[in-house]
Amino acid sequence: MAGTASGYIKHHLQNLTYGQLPAGYERADGSVLDSPAWTFAGSVREAADMGFWAIHVDSMFWSLLLGFLFVGLFRFVGKRATSGAPGALQNVIEILVEFVDNSVKDGFHGRNPVIAPLALTVFCWIFLMNLMDLIPVDWIPGLATLIGIPYMKVVPSTDPNITMSMSLSVFMMMIFYWIKVKGIGGLFGDLALHPFSSKNLFFKVLLMPVNLLLETVSLIAKPISLGLRLFGNMYAGELIFILIAMIGYAQLPLHFGWAVLHILVITLQAYIFMTLTIVYLGMVHEDH
């Protein structure tokens, strides 16, 4: 662990990064590479110098692990579900499924069997990723350091690569169903004929560039705001936990108070992402 406060914060906010360093590169340990090499970054500078194609291994590991945990848990409960008196775990799962189902019925008025399972997956997966924020910030990074792993961020939703990849996936599904339900002409009509329109053909054509500009900006803003909202809220929460951890033994009441408040943030952010996913996909299924 870095000895200074600045080094401590940078260490906890740095991802375990795997990427390529060029030939002649001087590494953090003083060695110089004879040829380009794919390797794990040993410092913040090395991670930055690896560029766009670098992979955040810790974010990938924890997000996939939590995704498999979600699938495995629901499969386990589903196979053992009973119509009699359900156990506590089955009760929780049934309440969660009913909650998501009601959210889909309220926000989506088309006919698509994919939306409800997608909404359930989005909510549970993001909730589990956010929930990792409640693990004391020194535990897992400290254990990783002991076994020779220099960095370990355990909250995937504090990585913009994860949140933006999820939002871009929702965006691509929007475009896919937009074309599937309405065709290319319907997609163009939604973008070019709204919000301003006229019964006069001349004015309708004249307003098309304005509508295209406004609707295209609005369309592009959807995945950006969806991903950055989740990232910003979770990153800020993680940073506050790190700052509290620097206080020492006096951190316990502050840590507990912020953790209780953060439970609401964790759940709310998962709910917002799920709700906006439902709304965005519902928009492309509806006719004006």
Burial class of residue 27 (count of CB atoms within 10 Å of its CB; 0-12, 13-18, 19+): middle
Identify whether the C-beta of residue 23 lies closer than 8 Å to the C-beta of residue 34: yes
Q: Nearest-CA neighbor of 167 among 225, 82, 121, 109?
A: 225
What string of DSSP letters covers 84-148?
SS--HHHHHHHHHHHHHHHHHHHH--S--TTHHHHHHHHHHHHHHHHHGGGS-TTHHHHHHHHTT
Backbone angles phi, psi at 80, to 5 degrees: -110, 10
| Cis geometry, peptide bond prior to residue 136 (ω within 30 degrees of 0) | no
- In angstroms, the CA 270 to CA 229 distance is 11
Q: Which of 27, 161, 169, 229 is catalytic?
A: 229
169 flagged as catalytic: no
Cα dihedral 160, 70, 92, 96, rounded to 10, equals: 50
Note if 83 is an active site residue. Answer: no
- Do 152 and 16 form a contact (C-beta atoms < 8 A)? yes
- CA 254 to centroid of chain Cα atoms: 27
User: Which of the residues are catalytic?
Assistant: 225, 229, 233
